[in-house]
């Protein structure tokens, strides 16, 4: 994953910058109803996984970038997540995202990944246990 995205300040961000910690990367958009429905669960999962040193990162593909997505997330009360913005969908295309929401769980070395397509109850005990198990591999 070599495509550059932006963080909430507009600085360039590469997924390699997050190596060293497992990362659950969720590709989403404000216009995607299933994406919006799972955002609160992702926020709660981020809080639950923080002690395990697992990062939850939301990558918005909205064309408006941070200016559109950040106020939207604030209105929903989404906190505790890392933010990335891919308004031209370069990273999304690079990793083969075909529909939203799609999430990738990367190991800390980023040499293994698991793909989750569709909305999930990210904060359920079963899902949190699965994430912890896969991230440890």
Interval 83-113: pLDDT, tens: 999 999 999 999 999 999 999 999 999 999 9
Interval 29-49: pLDDT, tens: 999 999 999 999 999 999 999
Whether the predicted pLDDT of 1 surpasses 90: no
Whether the predicted pLDDT of 24 surpasses 90: yes
Mean pLDDT for the stretch of residues 74-91: 97
Mean pLDDT for the stretch of residues 63-86: 97
Whether the predicted pLDDT of 26 surpasses 90: yes
3-state secondary structure the chain: CCCCEECCCCCEECHHHHCCCCEEEEEECCCCHHHHHHHHHHHHHHHHHHHHCCEEEEEECCCCHHHHHHHHHHHHCCCCCEEEECCCCHHHHHCCCCCCCEEEEECCCCCCEEEEECCCCCCCHHHHHHHHHHHCC
pTM for this entry: 0.96
């Amino acid at each position: 994953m070599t495509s550059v995205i932006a963080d909430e300040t507009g600085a360039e961000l590469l997924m390699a910058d997050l190596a060293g910690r497992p990362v659950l990367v969720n590709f989403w958009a404000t216009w995607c109803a299933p994406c919006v429905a799972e955002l609160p669960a992702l926020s709660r999962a981020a809080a639950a996984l923080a002690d395990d040193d697992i990062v939850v990162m939301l990558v918005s593909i909205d064309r408006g970038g941070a200016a559109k997505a950040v106020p939207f997330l604030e209105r929903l009360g989404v906190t505790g997540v890392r933010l990335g913005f891919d308004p031209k969908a370069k990273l999304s295309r690079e990793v083969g995202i075909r529909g939203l929401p799609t999430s990738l769980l990367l190991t800390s070395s980023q040499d293994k990944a698991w793909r989750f397509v569709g909305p999930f109850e990210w904060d359920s005990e079963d899902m949190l246990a699965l994430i912890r198990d896969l991230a440890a591999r």
